[in-house]
Amino acid sequence: MRSSSLIAMLLALAAAPPPAAQSLLYRSPNLSGDWVADPGVVQFNFLHRFNVSSGTGSVVTNFPTFTLAAGVAGNVGVGYRFATKELAGTETTSNESELFARWRFLGAHEGSEGFAASISPAYNFRSKAVDGELAADYTTGPVTILAAVRELSKPFGQSGAQTALGGGAVIRLNQYLALSGDYAKLLGGDTTAAWSAAIQVQIPNSPHTFALEVSNVAANTFEGSSRGGNPLSQRLYGFEFTIPLHLSRFGASFHSSRGLATGVTGPAAATVVVVSLHFATDTVRIAAGQVVRWVNKDPLDHSVSFEVDGPESGPVPAKGSYAVRFDRPGTYPYHCTPHPFMRGVVVVQ
Domain ranges of the chain: 16-247, 255-348
Architecture of the domain delimited by 16-247: Beta Barrel (2.40)
Single-letter amino acid code for the residue at 296: N
pTM, two decimals, is: 0.69
Q: What is the pLDDT along the chain (349 residues), one digit of tens a residue?
A: 444 444 444 444 333 333 433 568 889 999 988 888 877 788 899 999 988 876 666 788 888 999 999 988 778 999 999 998 765 544 556 788 999 999 999 987 777 789 999 999 999 998 899 999 999 999 998 999 999 999 999 888 788 899 999 999 999 998 789 999 999 999 987 788 999 999 999 887 567 889 999 999 888 899 989 988 755 457 899 999 998 876 655 554 554 444 444 566 778 999 999 988 889 888 899 998 899 999 999 888 888 888 765 667 778 888 888 898 888 888 888 888 778 778 888 888 8
DSSP 232-281: TTT-EEEEEEEEEEEGGGG-GGG---TTEEES--S--SEEEEEETTEESS
For the chain, the first-to-last Cα distance in angstroms comes to: 40
The CATH classification number of 255-348 equals 2.60.40.420
| Alpha carbons 78 and 179: distance in angstroms, whole number | 27
